[in-house]
Amino acid sequence: MNIHYFQHVPFEGLGSIREWAEQRGYSLSVTKFYEGDKIPSVEEIDWLIVMGGPMSVHDEKKYPWLKQEKEFIQEAIEKEKTIIGVCLGAQLIADILGAEVYPNQEKEIGWFPVKFTDYANPFKSLNKLKPDFTVFHWHGDTFDLPKGSKHLAFSEACRNQAYLYNEKVLGLQYHLETTKDSLLQMISHGRDELISGRYIQSENEILVQQDLFLSVNKKVLFALLDEMANPVW
């Protein structure tokens, strides 16, 4: 299986998704937009993974490559490729599918629980996590659910945390892929956002709690990706 991923900034890469792909013998290729990489032909890939970043889906004037990226994601959806969007990636897919993307009432940064809806039941990896599961968040924007998608998860701070569209496109607002290294990189580049807020943890709180959640998040991520690779729904 050929997996291509879009990376928007140096400090938000694949994280533990890379380990999952390498363990299963899948090939990986990347477009790093911040380095001016070219986008491949959609026919060359089986999966597309769209990672996060601090920019908005509406920042096309500042980041002209966003237009080309959106066109490619649209084509990949039409060609029924498996697509996974993480944070900004989930927002980009929602935008492409006609949903609104806008600032959430509260920024959500740190380890906070999400709850899963009945639409998550076919995912064995998610269904057994009820009533809630603590994941890592770092976002200020949110999105409306794309028309025709299934609402999979929500949190106290943000209603739309995960969705499934057309059984092939998964959007995750949160970061299951986080590793110790990627967490440090996100903090280093976003420390100015760690201000007092109802759903914003301090740097110390984030780092102290990582040992409680990183390994179980990774386990859930691997199981979820395996289900996307071999769907039973």
Instruction: Examine the pLDDT at 128 and tell me if it is beyond 90.
Output: no
- Please give the DSSP secondary-structure letter assigned to residue 9: S
| pLDDT over 80 at 233, yes or no | no
Whether the pLDDT of residue 155 is over 80: the answer is yes
- Euclidean distance between CA atoms 203 and 210, whole angstroms: 11
Asked whether 3 and 45 are in contact (CB, 8 A), the reply is yes
Predicted pLDDT of residue 232: 78
C-alpha torsion 91→95→98→102, nearest 10: 70
Do residues 150 and 163 make contact, with C-beta atoms less than 8 angstroms apart? yes
**pLDDT band at residue 220, thresholds of 50, 70 and 90?**
very high
Dihedral of alpha carbons 61, 28, 98, 108, sign: negative
Residue 145 has pLDDT above 80, yes or no: yes
Q: How confident is the prediction for the chain on average, in pLDDT?
A: 97
Position 222 scores a pLDDT of: 98
Burial class (CB in 10 A: 0-12, 13-18, 19+), 212: exposed
pLDDT of residue 179: 98
- Report how far residue 102's alpha carbon sits from residue 54's, in angstroms, rounded to the nearest whole number: 14
Q: What is the pTM (predicted TM-score) of this model?
A: 0.98
d(CA 233, CA 126): 13
Q: How confident is the model at residue 9 (pLDDT cuts 50, 70, 90)?
A: very high
| 169-172: strand order across its sheet | 27-32, 2-7, 47-50, 82-86, 169-172, 162-165, 150-154, 101-116, 133-143
Residue 97: both structure tokens together: 């599918």
Q: How confident is the model at residue 118 (pLDDT cuts 50, 70, 90)?
A: very high
The count of structural domains within the chain is 1
* CATH number, residue 62: 3.40.50.880
- Give the domain range for residue 32: 2-229
> What pLDDT digit, counting tens, does each position of 96-114 carry?
999 999 999 999 999 999 9
pLDDT band at 184 (very low <50, low <70, confident <90, very high): very high
Weakest-pLDDT range from 18-22, 50-54, 65-69, 126-130: 126-130
pLDDT tier, 78 (very low <50, low <70, confident <90, very high otherwise): very high
Q: Can you give the pLDDT at residue 130?
A: 79
List the one residue out of 49, 147, 150 whose CA is nearest residue 98.
147
